[in-house]
Structure formats: C-alpha cells, structure tokens
Chains A and B, each alone.
Chain A
Amino acid sequence: MRHLLDNDVFFAAIYGKHALHPVAREWLDKAKPAGWGVAVETYLAAVRLLMNPAVMKSGHLSAIHAIEAVETELAGRYPGRIVMPRRKPDQAMLKQATGHKQVMDFWLAQIAQDCGCKLATNDSGLAAAWPKHVDRIV
C-alpha cells in the first residue's frame, strides 16, 4: 500500500460538491493501482459527513446508504484497505500539534508511517510538518 488518504481527500473524491472533487477524484483513480487505503477513522468520518444534514442539506444519507457509498468506493479492481492503528498515539508526534484540528491529521500521519506508506492530503501545513510521511495531492 502506497497511500493512506486523509479525511478530506477521501471525502472530496466521493462527493461532487467538494471544491477539490475533480482533483481528488483524478488523483485517487491514478493512485489506486499502487495500493491505497483509509484509516478506520477516515471511513467513519466519511459516513458521518454523508449523514450530516448540515453538510449534505436535503441530500444527507441514511447510515445504510452512507456505508454503501464508502464500501463501494473501497471495492472494485483496486480495493482499498481499512487500516486499524497498530499502536497508541505517539505523544512526541501529537505534542507538535498547534491546534485542535491538527490532532486527527497528525494521528493519521502516524498510522501512515506505521503502515510504511504516505498520508495523502491537501493540507499544506501537514505536508510541511511531516514531509517524510505525507504527500500533498494538489
């Protein structure tokens, strides 16, 4: 597996009204043959977003259909892995977070590191903080 997708990249790939959808969709389609996956946190984040009326407005999905969408993306010729963390959060890594929104991203970067792959993100700050563990898709 070469890439673990962060929450934003995975959601952008499957949701047409994300501003990054064209970029994320194209990137993922090209990246899949090399091996890809999402952390269980990213799987659940996508389900949460698809079910959230504040995000999806009248198009929010039931749990059944949100899960169906995520599972269908993970299926296919180049199936995506659902990655479970191998160890608890690395305190040294997390302590470098400068804001609450970075905590999940740093955790995903650790999971990617533990899997021997890179975290695919659009976040320039994350890419700058962990250049060895992160690939920026844009």
Chain B
Amino acid sequence: MPTFSFKTAPSEAKSIRAAARAKGLSVSEYLRRTTLPRAAGKRLARATLKPGRVVIQGSADAPVLTSADVASALYD
C-alpha cells in the first residue's frame, strides 16, 4: 500500500489532528474521507429498495460471490 508523507506547519498539524480526533478517526482515515468522500462508502445506486424486498445489484467490478466467499469474508 502506498504511503503519503507531506510537510505542514505545526499549527496545521494540530488542527488536522484535532479535527480527526473530533470525528473519532485516525489522521489517515480523516484525510482519506475529506479528500475522497466516496471512500467512506457509496449510496445504494443500483438497488431495488422496496419494504420487504431489497435487491442490491452490485457494482460492475464486483465478482459473483459464492457461499464460501461469504464465509471467508465473515470468518477468516
């Protein structure tokens, strides 16, 4: 995973840390969510949402999952 490092004034660093802490996030996660809001998770764009009947189509890049895939995601 690539690592970013950048220089910032002490006062800016303090502000960034305080803002991240206020949201209960790490600095890395705070900066990711601030600069890339989509990283926080998408809306239900491709889905049928009727009370009692939900079908989420899934994104184009998502593979078809088997029961074994589901088990691995939950338990491994």
In the complex, how many angstroms separate the beta carbon of B14 from the nearest chain A beta carbon?
A: 29
Q: Are A79 and B44 in contact (CB under 8 A)?
A: no
A86→B28 CA distance, assembly (Å): 41
A132 within 8 A of B: no
Chain B 61-74, CB within 8 Å of chain A: the 1/0 string?
11111110111011
Q: Are A100 and B75 in contact (CB under 8 A)?
A: yes
Question: Inside 8 A of B2's CB, which chain A residues have their CB?
Answer: none
Q: Name the CB-closest residue of A to B46.
A: A59
| A55-B69, A56-B59, A72-B49 given; A14·B43 CB < 8 A | no
A124→B19 CA distance, assembly (Å): 50
A-B interface contact total, Cβ < 8 Å: 123
Residue with the greatest number of chain A CB neighbours at <10 A, chosen from B46, B55, B56, B62: B56
| A48-B74, A51-B41, A59-B42 given; A77·B52 CB < 8 A | yes
Question: Inside 8 A of A66's CB, which chain B residues have their CB?
Answer: 41
B23 within 8 A of A: no
From A20, A54, A62, contact of B73 by CB (8 A): A54
Q: What total of chain A residues lie within 8 Å of the partner, measured CB to CB?
A: 48
Q: Are B74 and A79 in contact (CB under 8 A)?
A: no
Q: Are B65 and A55 in contact (CB under 8 A)?
A: yes
A136→B50 CA distance, assembly (Å): 26
| A50-B56, A57-B62 given; A68·B73 CB < 8 A | no
A11 within 8 A of B: yes
In the complex, how many angstroms separate the beta carbon of A128 from the nearest chain B beta carbon?
A: 15
From A48, A51, A69, contact of B47 by CB (8 A): A69
Where the two chains meet, the residues of A that have a C-beta atom closer than 8 Å to any C-beta of B are 7-8, 11-12, 14-21, 25, 29, 32, 45, 48-52, 54-63, 65-66, 68-70, 72-73, 75-79, 100-101, 104, 122-123
Where the two chains meet, the residues of B that have a C-beta atom closer than 8 Å to any C-beta of A are 40-47, 49-67, 69-71, 73-75
Extra A-B contacts (4), CB below 8 Å, given A17-B58, A59-B62, A101-B75: A16-B55, A60-B42, A68-B49, A76-B52
